[in-house]
Amino acid sequence: MARYMLQRILIAVPVLIGVSIVVFLMLHSAGGDPAQQILGPRADAESIARLRDEMGLNRPLAVQYADFAQDALKGDLGRSYRSNDTVTDEVLSRFPATIELAMAAMLIGTTIGLIAGIVAGVRRDSFFDYSSTLGALLGISIPTFWLGMILIIVFGVELRWLPISGRVNPRLGADPSAPFLVIDSALHGNWVVFRDSLEHLILPALTLAGWPAAIVARMTRAAMIETMDLDYIRTARAKGLKESAVVRRHALRNAFIPVVTVVGLELGGLLGGAVVTETVFSWPGVGKLAADAILARDYQVVQGVVLLLAAIFIILNLLVDLIYSWLDPRIRYA
Amino acid sequence: MEILITEPLLDRAPRVGGRWKRIGRQFTRNRLAVAGTVILLALAVVAIVGPFLVADPRAQDVPNRFAHPSRDHWFGTDELGRDIFARTVNGARISLASALAAVAVALSIGTTIGLIAGYLEGKVGLWLMAFIDLLLAIPAILLAITLAARLGPGLTSAMIAAALVGLPAYARLARGSALAVKRQEYVTAAQVTGTSRAGIIRKHIFPNILTPVIIQSTIGVGNAILLVSALGYLGVGAQPPTSEWGRMLSDAQKYILTEPYIAIFPGVAIALTVIGFNLAGDGLRDAFDPVVKR
């Protein structure tokens, strides 16, 4: 197991380097001149040339990348030209809001997906099975941003039950960039902020949970159906176990293996989906930061966010691999 | 997965065209697949004929802005008094055409990379697949917005981004199939008789990987529509006054508190289209692969 883990970790390093090269090249090679974009359309040629020189844009791409990589290893990802803050600070200060949203969405998505998938798989061809299959189809077919807008219309505009933008009511004096606002305010006994931030979290989390709930439900149903037909389940039934015990004690563990993969991979997708969801709900996370930076052509910030999320995605994949091989020892020896 | 052991017995006497007949029968028996196909056919008609039959999607009628759905304006009018029905119908052509183009590009480049990587293996294959794995290591929407933003906002950029995001799936599929097929005896026979590498890939390996690629591309079009509309929504895809569905929804959100009906129809259109492609894709997969039925 230790050898397998080491192998997998060693593979992740070149992937990370490769991703940084791809992102760097995408933002630095083709397309317009960053110096021109920073100075605006009315800048004269001389100032553009001076800024290009200052930014090191006249050097060969390989040298620029080497510099960038060296700084990145020290935690320096450059500066945002809009705020003049360091990209690292900007990204790190927005990141906790994204984690809170993604965790809430994953929790909701996985719970709904697992329950729907298990029940649908065990009671195949029942009314519940058909409804959950239809629900899962809708979940993978409805665009995330539109789901968000529909939730806003129903729960925010028509019923007026929940707030539709931001993370917490600014009048309450809570810091909107605080990590885990919901849990933190509960721990400090600040129930007013707790209730308000929880209410702000519900709609974005439901929006972001739609896709993973659908994927997990589909995967769990297929895995349950496959497992329930296996011989060892027949044996368990034949020795007189109750059906609920057969499902709980025998089928679930086996069915969980493909589900773990999906959950891990979807968590990465969630971080990407956060860009869209955070834009719909003006949620102050890295997704909104990236979307705003792209429209303002603040490429240093875009680069920082993409690299951070890609790195997390790679690490999550690594973790999934390790959990997977722990659940199913055959994979280690394949 | 359910194993249908009766299937191989039915296949005892293969006739010319028998396989296709069986696949067709399997597909038409699947009610959901048929429903998906009907949705797609209806959409194709709307996309091809529709724009000629409806009002000009760019014609503004500001005094008549925010008109609610009525007999004159079936889906109502938007903030500039443009007819939302006309814009949604035109959007069908834009969305379908851009998604189909993105998938066509992704499919041809991805399949070519996969075939070469699978058939050659060795160093070339490893490097090609390492590049593909890199693309997969970046969350799809981030890869797409980075590229679309760099190319400059626009429908073409969104299409190129959707193609790049879709490409790895075809490459992996083609490589896997090519690896499996090349060990078959008839490929060895072709090698022995001196057929060139390109000839073997074209004549013997390519036809054998078509089925999984076709199935993947059906679902791929649905995903491309979702991605292109998301890019339009975020402002890096189609630009105004293009009546692209994602872009329309982005504009609609500005008025969501007072005129929420504007945000309904373009979203329904996206969802219906993607449902159509997903149902048809699932149906094709089950029809082509009758032994293992999910």
- In this prediction, what percent of chain B has a pLDDT beyond 70? 92
pLDDT of B70 above 50: yes
Are B245 and A143 spatial neighbours (Cβ–Cβ below 8 Å)?
A: no
Ranges A282-296, B3-17, B220-234: which has the least confidence: B3-17
Which residues of chain A have a CB within 8 Å of the CB of B149? 294-295, 297, 302
What integer pLDDT is reported at residue A190 of this predicted model? Answer: 83
Q: How many angstroms separate the CA of residue A22 from the nearest CA in chain B?
A: 8
Q: B248 at the A interface (CB within 8 A)?
A: no
Contact A143 B267 (CB under 8 A): yes
Per-residue pLDDT of chain A (334 residues; tens, 9 = 90+): 677 778 777 777 888 888 888 888 877 765 556 677 667 777 788 888 887 787 777 778 888 888 888 888 888 888 887 777 888 888 888 888 898 899 899 899 989 998 998 888 888 888 888 899 899 999 989 999 999 999 999 998 889 899 888 888 877 777 766 777 888 888 888 888 888 888 999 999 999 999 889 988 988 888 888 887 888 888 888 888 888 788 877 778 777 777 777 777 677 778 778 889 999 999 988 989 988 888 887 888 888 888 888 888 888 878 877 777 777 666 555 4
Q: What is the DSSP string of chain B?
A: -EE-THHHHHTSS--TTHHHHHHHHHHHH-HHHHHHHHHHHHHHHHHHHHHHHSPPTT---GGGTTPPS-SSSTT-B-TT--BHHHHHHHHHHHHHHHHHHHHHHHHHHHHHHHHHHHHH-HHHHHHHHHHHHHHHTS-HHHHHHHHHHHH-SSHHHHHHHHHHHHHHHHHHHHHHHHHHHHTSHHHHHHHHTT--HHHHIIIIIHHHHHHHHHHHHHHHHHHHHHHHHHHHHHTSSS-TT---HHHHHHHHHTTTTT-GGGGTHHHHHHHHHHHHHHHHHHHHHHHH--SEE-
Q: Answer yes or no: is pLDDT of B248 > 70.
A: yes
Count the residues in chain A. 334
pLDDT of residue B12: 45
**B13 confidence band (pLDDT: 50, 70, 90):** very low
Amino acid code (one letter) for A273: G
pLDDT tens figures, B18-33: 777 888 888 888 888 8
pLDDT > 90 fraction of chain B, expressed in percent and rounded: 19
Note whether A229 contacts B260, CB cutoff 8 Å. Answer: no
Q: What is the rounded CA–CA span in Å between residue B72 and residue B191?
A: 68
How far is residue B28's CA from residue B57's CA, in Å, rounded to a whole number? Answer: 37
- Flag if B142 and A157 touch (Cβ within 8 Å): no
Distances (CA, A) of A238 to A105, A231, A234, A235, B10: 40, 10, 6, 5, 32
**Does pLDDT of B16 surpass 60?**
no
Q: What are phi and psi of A27, to 5 degrees?
A: -90, -15
Residue B269, Cα to own-chain centre: how many angstroms?
A: 15
Residue of A nearest to B32 (CA): A134
- Check: pTM over 0.90? Answer yes or no: no
Three-state DSSP class for residue A79: strand
CA torsion angle A84 A87 A91 A94 (round to 10) = -10
The enclosing H or E element of A69 equals helix A61-73
The pLDDT value given to residue B176: 81
Q: Which of A94, A73, A58 is nearest to A17 (CA)?
A: A73
Min Cα–Cα distance to chain A from B174, Å? 22
What is the spatial distance between Cα B11 and Cα B17, in angstroms, rounded to a whole number? 12
| Interface touch B260/A314, C-beta < 8 Å | no
Q: What is the mean pLDDT of residues B113-140?
A: 82
What is the pLDDT confidence band of residue B14, given thresholds at 50, 70 and 90?
A: very low
Q: How confident is the model at residue B201 (pLDDT cuts 50, 70, 90)?
A: confident
Residue among A144, A149, A279 whose CB faces B256 most closely? A149
- The end-to-end CA distance of chain B, in Å, is 5
Residue A331 has a pLDDT of: 58
pLDDT at A61: 80
Do you find a cis peptide bond into B241, omega within 30 degrees of 0? Answer: yes
| Contact call for A143 and B152, based on CB within 8 A | no
Q: Report which of residues A310 and B93 the model is more confident about.
A: B93
